[in-house]
Amino acid sequence: MAKVLVVEDEADVRDLLTLHLKREGYQVSAYEDAEEALVSFERSEAAREPFDLIILDWMLPKMSGLDLCKTLRTKMSTTIPIMLLTARADTMDKVLGLEIGADDYLTKPFEIREFVARVRALMRRATPTARETAKTQLSFGPFRADIAAKQMFLNEVEIALTPNEFKILTTLMQKPGTTFERRYLIKLIQGPGVAVVDRTIDTSILGLRKKLGKDADWVETVRGFGYRFRGEK
């Protein structure tokens, strides 16, 4: 079942969107607060059960929908389709919204039928097969990961990784060339009741590099920030 994240502070609008999205067959997680939504987003990414669509209201009490959109696109490097909702009809805002990485933009008040049609269009663009494959198979350079089977292959030879090494490598592989902050990676491998310190990341990266041998340079250190997977072959 496809998952939709909804962030809208007006309860009646939030309920209406949730109702219609559920009718369309989506699993809905709705929040009134951008910060709570961000935590939910991070949790879904770490659990490898990513959202398929994000719907953001522009005007929110603390962190704005626009700031959340920016954070999701830059810090979180997500490519999940994002729809912005706003009460402003200003074209300048529309341009700003699209520049910041929203895929679609809907001005309030809107007809619920139009909302549903836009949702369908966004979901069609990200085809189900592509989405499903992306969740289970991942390849780049000499690497191939089977997410479901928790197997990693280097030049089609399986390499035995620890759960942390596997999580880190598959995360980096999803966005070659993108630096992932240490803080993000720590959160990623943090399980309930497990204390993860900075050193845990270093140890995992060290172990990972050892196992990759001459291909270790695919995992790059970005001093002061974190780690990234080499972008080019």
Q: Which residues bind Ca ion (CB under 5 A)?
A: 9, 57, 59
- Cβ distance to Ca ion smaller for residue 12 or 99: 12
Q: How far is the CB of 32 from Ca ion (least distance, A)?
A: 9
List the one residue out of 39, 99, 79 whose CA is nearest residue 63.
Answer: 39
CA dihedral for 103, 10, 65, 81, sign (positive or negative): negative
Size of the chain in residues: 233
Q: How far is the CB of 226 from Ca ion (least distance, A)?
A: 33
- The order of strands in the sheet holding 151-154 is 137-140, 143-146, 151-154, 157-159
Q: Is 59 helix (H, G, I), strand (E, B) or coil?
A: coil
Q: How far is the CB of 229 from Ca ion (least distance, A)?
A: 37
- Cβ distance to Ca ion smaller for residue 16 or 59: 59
Q: How far is the CB of 23 from Ca ion (least distance, A)?
A: 23
- Cβ distance to Ca ion smaller for residue 88 or 120: 88
- Cβ distance to Ca ion smaller for residue 37 or 138: 37
Distances (CA, A) of 154 to 10, 22, 147, 214: 49, 41, 14, 11
- Cβ distance to Ca ion smaller for residue 50 or 65: 65
Tell me phi and psi for residue 207, to 5 degrees. Answer: -65, -40
Instruction: Return the structure tokens found at 23.
Output: 């009718």
Point out the residue whose Cβ comes nearest to Ca ion: 59
Q: How far is the CB of 28 from Ca ion (least distance, A)?
A: 18
